[in-house]
Every structure is written in C-alpha cells, then in structure tokens.
Amino acid sequence: MPWEDVKAVFRPETVHMGVMIVDAEKCTKCGLCIQNCPFKAWETGPDDIPRQKVEYECFSCFNCMVCCPVDAVSIVDTYHVDAGVFRTEPYPLPVRMPLEPLSAQGNPDRWTPVERTIFERRSVRNFRDRPVPETLIRRVIEAGRFAPSAGNCQPWKFIVITNRDMINEMDEAIYRVLNMQYSTYIDDESVKNLARGYEANPNPGGYDPRIILGGIGSVAKRNLPPLLNAPVVILIAGDSRAISGPQLNIGICGQNMNLAATSLGLGACWVGFSAILNMARPIMEKLSLESPWRIINAVIIGYPKFKQSGVVPREYRPVTWLRSGSDTVEIEE
C-alpha cells in the first residue's frame, strides 16, 4: 500500500490535545494533578503551580480535575481532531455532567447507589503499597463470573497474580513490545514499515494519537508502568470459540468487576496492553494458557493512594428518538 494512501493514519494533522489550567489562587501545590495524569502531561512551574508541558499528550480524561481537593483545575479545551481519519464529530464534542435524575413521573429524583457508583467510578492508576485480602479479590471475580454473556457461553477464565516478581516480569515483556512499536512509529522512515503491514490488518484505532502517542508513548518513555504498580493483576483470558467472540463478553464481565471493586472501596483499571502477553511464550507457559484461550484484557485492583473518584463531564452526543405513536425521527438539541 503506497505511503501516501496511509499517511493520514500514521501522520495525522489538526490534532488538538486537551487543555487544562490551574487557578493559582486556589491551588495548594499538593501535586496530585501531576501524579494522577496517566500521560505525565503536567509539570511544576517556577512558582510551584502545576502547568501543562510545552509538548504533551492529553486525551481529556480529567483525572487531574477529579483528584484536586480545592477544584483548582478546569477545562479550557478538550481533545479533538479537525479533519482526516481521526476527525471527531463535531470538534470538539461538548462535554456535560450527568443529566439530573427524574422519576418515572418526571419529578426530580436521586441517583440510586448503583447509578452513583457508575458515575463516580474512575480508572485508578495510583495505589497504596498495601495487599488486597483474597476475600475481596474473590468478590470482584464473582461479580465478573456472573456477568451476562452471549448464549450463556461464559467464555472467561481468571488468573490472579499478586507475586511482585511475576508482575515485574509481565511489565518488562509488555514494555519491550510497546517500546519497539513506539520507536518505529516516531521515526519518519521506520514508520513506513508499519504502514506496509497496515494493508493486511487495517486497524486505524491502533494508531489513534491518544493511544500511540499517549498510552504507548508513556510506557515507552518509562513514565507509565504497563501494570501501574498495582498489587493485584487479574488477567481475563477468553475462549476464541465464544459466541460472538470473547471481546464483548469479557468487556461486560470486566465492567462488573470494576464496579464491584469500586463498591468495596478498591480502585480498578482496565489494562488492554495485557493482551501483548500472548506474544510472550515463557509467560504464557507459566500461566498454563494454551489455545483456544488467549488473554483478552486485565483488571488491576488495589487501594487508591489518594482520592481518584468523582464525577467529571463526558462527551455528549445527542440521542436520536423514534417514539411510540410517531413516525418522526427526533434528534435532541
């Protein structure tokens, strides 16, 4: 495939990273916004007030905002792309807090405990050096085991790892692959080798600037350990024979696990990079994983090092309605 045909995938233009600012009058200089940024987009300015770096990646997760104890961090602009393969629609999408709850009769209401857990759950990437009791790990797994699955095929298997040496070994195996991919991507000549393989597996999402520059780049620069120094890694293996494939089923399973962990006072985070371990034969042998089983994803859990939960705004796309008794399609304003 000619380079010019795929250049827009590997060298996208008009990419605007998110912009956040700190109110110097409110800021207590605690540094939690710096710690809680997964891509290390923040630094300490000469006045000890956090500021975004000159060169940085920000995909508008608002983790810096949610951990601030004095609400000193605010949004100036969200991540968006004006044109090309990764164009966002519109650009940027408006972000909104959850709509106020209404009862079945349309009256003001309160969120249920389940709803509140859903809205306040955040991906936790900073953990205390404290073991998680196996009794709680088991409860998180049980929440996953009882998730719905296509045809009730239940195509999952859980592998729990609390051994620090093994976690470090997995970290290094993931790092080696991602570092090689990132080094190839950022080199203007080497990147064309990636482009040649793109024709066989056209997967633009794998080269979205948020993942290739942000996630993979942060791991390659050693700013972000793949498994985030978590005390517990739960690998979720999927059966490749699963009805509708294992990915969707395990996504539902893992979300149950995330919510259960949050309800137990733990923090949790998805780690999709864990699927790279399928390429590490020595690790797969240690885990006793063979075909048709493959690692699909991982959920890491532990006790949050500081407050990382809370409600933040999310992109809002208008909902399309086709209501009972009407042939008219309505799109919300």
Query: What pTM value is reported for the model?
Result: 0.94
User: What is the average per-residue pLDDT within 187-213?
Assistant: 90
pLDDT value for 220: 97
User: Cα dihedral angle (181, 186, 188, 193), rounded to 10 degrees?
Assistant: 10
pLDDT digits 0-9 by tens, 24-68: 999 999 999 999 999 999 999 999 999 999 999 999 999 999 999
| Residue 93 near residue 315 (C-beta atoms within 8 A) | yes
Question: Domains in the chain, please, with CATH?
Answer: 3-100 (3.30.70.20), 123-302 (3.40.109.10)
pLDDT value for 92: 72
pLDDT value for 208: 96
User: What is the average per-residue pLDDT within 302-306?
Assistant: 98
pLDDT band at 3 (very low <50, low <70, confident <90, very high): confident
Instruction: Work out the percent of the chain whose per-residue pLDDT is above 70.
Output: 100
pLDDT digits 0-9 by tens, 132-148: 999 999 999 999 999 99
pLDDT value for 267: 98
pLDDT digits 0-9 by tens, 70-110: 999 999 999 999 999 999 877 678 899 999 999 999 999 99
pLDDT digits 0-9 by tens, 271-288: 999 999 999 999 999 999
pLDDT value for 193: 87
pLDDT digits 0-9 by tens, 7-21: 999 999 999 999 999
3-state secondary structure the chain: CCHHHHHHHHCCCCEECCEEEECCCCCCCCCHHHHCCCCCCEEECCCCCEEECCCCCCCCCCHHHHCCCCCCEEEEECCEECCCCCCCCCCCCCEECCCCCECCCCCECCCCHHHHHHHHCCECCCECCCCCCHHHHHHHHHHHHCCCCHHHCCCEEEEEECCHHHHHHHHHHHHHHHHHHHHHHHCCCCHHHHHHHHCCCCCHHHHCHHHHHHHHHHHHCCCCCCCCCCCEEEEEEEECCCCCCHHHHHHHHHHHHHHHHHHCCCEEEECHHHHHHHHCHHHHHHCCCCCCEEEEEEEEEECECCCCCCCCCEECCCCEECCCCCCCCEECC
Average pLDDT, the chain: 95
